[in-house]
Amino acid sequence: MKGPAIFLAQFIQDKEPFNTLDGLCAWAAGHGYEGIQLPTLDHWLIDLKKAAESKTYCDDLNGKVRAHGLEITELSTHIQGQLVAVHPAYDHLFDGFAPTMYRGNSKARTAWAIDQLKLAAKASANLGLNAHVTFSGGLAWPYVYPWPKRPQGLIEEAFNELADRWMPILDVFDEQGIDLCFELHPGEDLHDGASFDRFLDLCEEHPRLCINYDPSHFVLQQMDYLQFIDLYDDRIKMFHVKDAEFNPDGTGGVYGGYQDWVDRAGRFRSLGDGEIDFGAIFSKLTQYGYDGWAVLEWECCIKDGEQGAAEGAPFIRSHMIQSTNRAFDDFARGGSDRKSNRKLLGLD
């Protein structure tokens, strides 16, 4: 496992040092991070089209980041992935994420988003990366709770359409040798293991259809986030290190009661302030041979981001495990062969 790294999306601001790539890199390195995960909507961070077309541009970008002692871990298209599939109920809200020229035209917005993902695949390859993180978007999300009873075939139709939109994108990622990792997240049609399995089947077990493992979203859904690793270890190619807690009471639970984050039963927290057992998570990922990055995604409804970032790097570093190359009881091992083994079993 590599790390610690930090996802920059939550820290971009219109003030120094958070308004330039050099400033963000110096800030992240100063907090002890070794890698940065780059969002791709802000051209001053990365020009996605240029990165897809020019290896020289990507070499220069890598050089700028490495000058601060950092590496680019992955690119992110969370926003563009969201716009690949938008239910009309959310058109107005999500229009604000798209360039002005595509607002009010959902088909043009979807085409732009799909093109953005394909550019990201090529840019990732030019940068020498091997994984990418995104959202799936959501066509069926307004119907997540089956009341009124969903019409037969509704969810099947939504997922068939979702697979039709994503399969050509997955093929481009395959051509570029990049794993496309979906962050399973409420609000997206891919939000848990069951929805991921449905999508995986429709995408014919596509080899590049992978997962960005983020246990915080599973705590808020009251899933078994440790067993999830056992079930999907072969598809987990990225890791967001994010904490959360769930404190239900007589007034609220999973759905949140339309309350602000600080008042909800399920809340995102800074690392170490929530309830997630990261010791067990890092152990399981190491056991299964996860060799990607451990990336802090800071989101907390209480603690300031600067403090969360400062505490994040040492927290991740303290949980990283160097995988052993020998058994602890090798010192007691005796010689063996088939004849002696049969003798020990009383077979000779």
User: What single string gives the DSSP state of each residue in 188-225?
Assistant: SS--SHHHHHHHHHHTTT-TTEEEEE-HHHHHHTT--H
- CA nearest neighbour of 44 among 19, 23, 26, 24: 19
Q: Give me the pLDDT at residue 264, please.
A: 98
SS3 179: strand
Cα separation of 192 and 205, whole Å? 17
pLDDT at residue number 331: 67
Q: What are the residues whose beta carbons fall under 8 Å from the beta carbon of 341, sequence distance 6 or more? A: none
CA dihedral over 155, 157, 161, 164, signed as positive or negative:
positive
Strands 209-213 and 35-39: unpaired
Give the integer Cα–Cα distance in Å for 9 and 13.
Answer: 9
- In the chain, how long is the greatest CA-to-CA distance? 83
- With b for 16 or more beta-carbon neighbours within 10 A and e for fewer, the 95-125 pattern comes to bebbeeebbeebeebbebbbebbbbbbbbbb
The tens-digit pLDDT sequence of the chain (348 residues) is 999 999 999 999 999 999 999 999 999 999 999 999 999 999 999 999 999 999 999 999 999 999 999 999 999 999 999 999 999 999 999 999 999 999 999 999 999 999 999 999 999 999 999 999 999 999 999 999 999 999 999 999 999 999 999 999 999 999 999 999 999 999 999 999 999 999 999 999 999 999 999 999 999 999 999 999 999 999 999 999 999 999 999 999 999 999 999 999 999 999 999 999 999 999 999 999 999 999 999 999 999 999 999 999 999 999 999 987 777 777 667 777 899 899 889 997
**Which residues are bridge partners to 310 per DSSP?**
none
Topology of domain 2-344 in CATH is TIM Barrel (3.20.20)
Amino acid at position 206, single letter: H
Query: DSSP character for 282?
Result: H
Q: Given this model, what pLDDT does residue 327 score?
A: 74
Tokens encoding 117: 């993902």
Residue position matching structure tokens 């800030």: 27
Are 274 and 304 spatial neighbours (Cβ–Cβ below 8 Å)?
Answer: no
Q: Residue 87: its pLDDT value, please?
A: 98
Amino acid letter for position 262: V
Q: Are 35 and 70 in contact (CB under 8 A)?
A: yes
pLDDT given at position 312: 98
